[in-house]
Amino acid sequence: NKRVFNYFMNNRSLVVVTTTIITDITHVGAGC
């Protein structure tokens, strides 16, 4: 879907922040 693709391209920083938060939560949950 091109609209969704454009949305993510326009919000790359938000996606990166969200991914980083998810990764941090996963690491904490794994006890790292």
Domain edges within the chain: 1-32
* Tokens encoding 28: 């904490």
Nearest 5°: the CA angle 23, 20, 25 is: 35
Q: How many CA atoms lie within 13 A of 11 on its CB side?
A: 11
pLDDT band for position 13 (cuts 50, 70, 90): confident
The pLDDT of residue 26: 86
Judged against a pLDDT cut of 70, whether residue 31 lies above it is answered with no
The pLDDT of residue 28: 80
Summarize the confidence of residues 7-13 as an average pLDDT: 79
pLDDT band for position 5 (cuts 50, 70, 90): confident
